[in-house]
Amino acid sequence: GGFVLLVIFVFAERRESDPLLPWSLFDSRDRVATFVLIFLAGAVLGAMTFFVAQLLQNVLGYSPLLAGVASIPFTIGIGVGGAVASKAALVIAPRWLLATAGVVLAVGLFFGSTLDRHVQYLPTLLALLLVIGFGVGMAIVLAPLCVLVGVPPSNIGPLSAVGQMFMSLATPIAIGLLSPIAASRTLSLGGSDTPGANTTPAEIDALNSGYTLVLFICAIIAAVAALVALTVRYTPQQLVQAQHAQEEAQRS
């Protein structure tokens, strides 16, 4: 139903003389590439957050509360990555920063895909959550700004909403597509995708294999995002102007 409504919206907006979302905003190849980046970043972020939480609880045996507390370093990494990206964007082209974020994510997720049920939180998981969070923080700060480069203040709101839509839409799509893959891997190894109190070590290993396969796929997606980032041609000066325009639009 949502897809049908989206198609209707597109056709209706293309016929309007004063559309809510001007389609001329999608004429820029760099902006379209940035939307692709936002979607890929949202897919990686959503899928990784969901399946890492499952791994912590179903494989390592953490309680929901302990899993949440154990994930706090991921949030800290996001904050640090965002702060570093904000400063570095003043002097470094965003494509290099976004590509670096993609590489950091790909390497971190690939390493995560090699973990087993014997992994220790200190130092392995702690360092991994910090590193992956750092990469995510860089991406989610820079990509939305790239969307706003070269647009008039009146279009900042609609474009920001479209960028948020791509980010939000990517999460359920990624989880919906990757959950059957994880379950298929687990079941093929003799495990159960609904672990219980009587789950055997072999079944836990099978469950872990399903989760780590998803992390490997996320690493590939992050690597693709890094390649897409290299096609973005915006300069640091353009990014600064976009940030100022965004601040002006928020104040008005």
Mean pLDDT on 77-102: 96
Residue 158 confidence (pLDDT): 83
Contacts of 23 by beta carbon, 8 Å cutoff, 6+ apart? 13, 14
Closest CA to 140 of 5, 46, 22, 66: 46
* pLDDT level of residue 42 (50, 70, 90 thresholds): very high
Q: How many CA atoms lie within 13 A of 201 on its CB side?
A: 3
* CATH domain 27-251 topology: Growth Hormone; Chain: A; (1.20.1250)
Q: Strand (E) positions, 139-245?
A: none
Taken as a whole, the chain contains a residue count of: 252
Highest mean pLDDT among 23-37, 102-116, 196-210: 102-116
At residue 244 the predicted structure's pLDDT band, cuts being 50, 70 and 90, is confident
Is 21 a residue whose pLDDT tops 80?
no
Q: Which of 32, 48, 59 is closest to 205 using CA atoms?
A: 59
Query: Does the pLDDT value for residue 27 go beyond 90?
Result: no
Write down the pLDDT at residue 117. 93
Higher pLDDT, 9 or 57: 57
Q: What is the pLDDT of residues 166-197, one digit of tens each?
A: 999 999 999 999 999 999 999 999 998 778 77
Please state the rounded mean pLDDT for residues 133-148. 94
| Model confidence at 130: pLDDT above 80 | yes
Residue type, 243: Q
Average pLDDT, integer, range 70-96: 96
d(CA 162, CA 70): 32
User: Is the pLDDT higher at 3 or at 37?
Assistant: 37
Quote the Cα angle for 144-110-145, to 5°: 5
**Is the confidence at residue 30, as pLDDT, over 90?**
yes
- pLDDT value at residue 200: 92
